[in-house]
Amino acid sequence: MKPEVILGLHGFSADSRRQMHDAGVCLMVDGEVVAAIDEERLSRAKRDGNFPFRSLEAAMEMAGIGSEEIDTVAFVDRLPLWQTWFVWRYAMEAAIMTGVRPWGYLGFWTKMMRERRRVPPVGVSTKDIRYLEHHRCHAATAYYPSPWDKATVVTLDGMGDFSIGGSVSRGGAGKLDLLRRSNGYFSPGHFYMIVTEYLGFVPGRHEGKVTGLAAHGDPGRAYAQMERIIGYRKGKLDFVAGPVAEEFFNVIRGRPGTRTRQWYSQDQWDSAKARIDAGYVPDDAVGLDYFRRAWAGYSREDIAAAAQKRFEDVISEYVADAVKQVGEKRLVLAGGCFANVRLNQRLAALPGVDGIYVHPNMSDGGLASGAALLAYHERRNRRGGAYLHNSWPHVYLGPSWNDAHCQSILEAKGIVWSSPPDLAAKAAAALADGKVIAWFQGRMEYGPRALGNRTLLAAATDPEMPARLNGRLKRSDFMPFAPIILDEHAAKWLVGWEPDHVASRFMTITYDVEPALSSKVPAVVHIDGTARPQVLRSDDHPCLHAVLSEYHRITGIPMVINTSFNMHEDPIVCSPEDAIDAVARGAADVLILGSLWVECGDVIKVMVPRDAAT
Ligand SMILES: [Fe+2]
């Protein structure tokens, strides 16, 4: 019988003024994900939201599937009619939180629906095209790849489907039963984006820097300011605007027939503004005028710390209610809010929670796989039959290149390489010698974390290493680097870690580092005593496990730094050419390409004069 092939697809047209972010593709054959990749890795444009033509081609090549074999195309995002009330109810609030104008939705939606036209030109002829809800796709990524059949499924992000900021579902027997959606205008995701922008970072991209900065501040000083922006509606599984936002809406609502600034005369607008104590102005910069005035007296660290605490507080209440109402103690999570690893540590410790899984590609980059998973399981559920929960063993779902191909690239560039028989031992010795290794092997990771196949490794024992690495990579992070640690030593170094902590395999949660040991690995412990580990089992990556074991034998330390293999603001490297380009710009001392060993000094000698000449 012909296998059932489903294409999950997330992305928007290149000609759209308001593009999506994190376009990507997932190919699934008979319920198994065989290829998944986000467009940024191929276009080399960070968080690229354009229609994922490159990813589609790459995924079909990886899977050995022709476009004519695709049975179903599952697009992410929809705007069902029932949902329009939700859109209009919160349309005004959209202006305050996002700068989106209400009528913008219509054009956006129409364009999105036209995206199906982009499928036939790449040869996909199926008539079975579906549009699936953004948060149901997130929920599918949280539930189906998780280790548990019964779970409380929570999704939270900025906003999806033009209106929804989160959802709570009950997962069981392969089905996702929705309990409640929350609004997208007062979402914790948008709140955190405002703070990110206020602090001078790029919202939607640099939220991790705010989390890092937060550990340097006092959460109490500006906390009352944060309470004025967002709150949680106890027992209701929804978020509310704090008094600042409410004050603004009351003024607007008191003027019938007026919806946004464009509909005001200047006098009306001026008087409306005067009635708002704080002088809030909703503009496309998500109300930064207000925040610049209201937060002027606080340090950046204190703002970040207070925002992180408020973010954790409201989401903790929401998740605690969700677990109580669903009645399942296993918690599975997806959506951009759960890229916040400190939040995840706190949620894992909530009373009533026994086990946490965060989808490794938790932001919108994971939605394509969510659409494929949802389309498959919805059809399967309609047909009935026994259900066997089948969690993802790994995220190595991207392209790979064999040694012969890598050799030919190196030779064409005139770069010297060797093929050491004892690769793991040689690499461990180099790490112990203080070298930085760029590790490129096998299929690229799906999601934002480098988990051993496109990774930079360096000694965690050297307190100067973070500064040296940041200098090499042209980064300026407040977060320390993350460690990769042998699983057999994790319980000794990470407080409370246990072998069934699946989130720690994908670097989606922080742990307190054992205080007596943290001074031995200063490069991977944050100022608050936490680390964000990848706990490595030998099944996950036998070669890297051997490197770490040998490194441990030499140094007595079972971990090294593991950071993503990319220069500042670039996406993680995908191809051998990307890897060579990054080391030519100084990313590492040694490059491992498959089983080949390359001294980066040789790459720089060959590549830099050539670049300088052009
Ligand atoms: Fe999302």
Q: Full-prediction pTM beyond 0.85?
A: yes
How much distance in Å is there from the Cα of 335 to the middle of ligand 1? 5
How much distance in Å is there from the Cα of 154 to the middle of ligand 1? 12
Q: Which tens digit of pLDDT belongs to each residue from 523-552?
A: 999 999 999 999 999 999 999 999 999 999
How much distance in Å is there from the Cα of 94 to the middle of ligand 1? 16
How much distance in Å is there from the Cα of 143 to the middle of ligand 1? 15
* Lowest-confidence region among 206-215, 295-304, 599-608: 599-608
pLDDT of residue 130: 87
pLDDT of residue 113: 62
How much distance in Å is there from the Cα of 210 to the middle of ligand 1? 19
How much distance in Å is there from the Cα of 162 to the middle of ligand 1? 11
pLDDT of residue 95: 46
* Lowest-confidence region among 181-185, 299-303, 372-376, 496-500: 181-185
Collapse the DSSP code of 324 into the 3-class scheme (helix H, G, I; strand E, B; otherwise coil) and give the result.
Answer: helix
How much distance in Å is there from the Cα of 157 to the middle of ligand 1? 5
DSSP code per residue over 478-524: SS-PPEEEEHHHHHHHBTT--TT-GGGGGT---EEBPTTTGGG-GGG
- Residue linked to tokens 């599975």: 332
DSSP code per residue over 191-225: HHHHHHHHTTS-TTT-HHHHHHHHTTS-TTTTHHH
Q: Is residue 210 packed enough to be buried (19+ CB in 10 Å), middle (13-18) or exposed (0-12)? A: buried
How much distance in Å is there from the Cα of 351 to the middle of ligand 1? 27
pLDDT of residue 178: 96
- How far is Cα of residue 478 from the mean position of the Cα atoms in its chain? 18
Residues 6+ apart with CB under 8 A from 226: 242, 306, 307, 309, 310
pLDDT of residue 245: 58
Q: Give the mean pLDDT of the chain.
A: 86
Collapse the DSSP code of 553 into the 3-class scheme (helix H, G, I; strand E, B; otherwise coil) and give the result.
Answer: helix
Taking the alpha carbons at both ends of the chain, their separation in whole angstroms is 55
Question: What backbone torsions phi and psi does residue 423 show, to the nearest 5 degrees?
Answer: -55, -45
| Residue 230 one-letter amino acid | I
How much distance in Å is there from the Cα of 229 to the middle of ligand 1? 21
How much distance in Å is there from the Cα of 560 to the middle of ligand 1? 32
Residues in the chain: 614
Q: What is the 3-state secondary structure (H, E, C) of 315-330?
A: HHHHHHHHHHHHCCCC
How much distance in Å is there from the Cα of 38 to the middle of ligand 1? 14
How much distance in Å is there from the Cα of 218 to the middle of ligand 1? 30
CA distance 410 to 591: 12
Q: Which tens digit of pLDDT belongs to each residue from 436-483?
A: 999 999 999 999 999 999 999 999 999 999 999 999 988 876 777 999
CA distance 358 to 319: 13
How much distance in Å is there from the Cα of 586 to the middle of ligand 1? 34
pLDDT value at 586 more than 50: yes
Distances (CA, A) of 39 to 338, 463, 557, 572: 21, 36, 37, 11
| Residue 463 one-letter amino acid | P
Number of H helices, E strands in the chain: 21, 21
Instruction: Using pLDDT thresholds of 50, 70 and 90, give the confidence band for residue 364.
Output: very high
How much distance in Å is there from the Cα of 21 to the middle of ligand 1? 10
pLDDT of residue 288: 58
Mean pLDDT of 248-263: 38
How much distance in Å is there from the Cα of 108 to the middle of ligand 1? 16
DSSP3 helix / strand / coil % (the chain, rounded to 5)? 45, 20, 40
Neighbours of 451 (CB within 10 A): 24
pLDDT of residue 280: 42
> What domains, with CATH codes, occur in the chain?
403-613 (3.90.870.20)
Could you tell me which residue, 542 or 115, shows the higher pLDDT?
542
Helices (H), 27-103: 40-43, 53-63, 84-97
Q: At what angle do helices 341-348 and 207-214 cross, to 10 degrees?
A: 60
How much distance in Å is there from the Cα of 479 to the middle of ligand 1? 24
- Residue linked to tokens 């939201």: 49
How much distance in Å is there from the Cα of 447 to the middle of ligand 1? 14
Mean pLDDT of 275-289: 43
How much distance in Å is there from the Cα of 336 to the middle of ligand 1? 6
Could you tell me which residue, 363 or 105, shows the higher pLDDT?
363
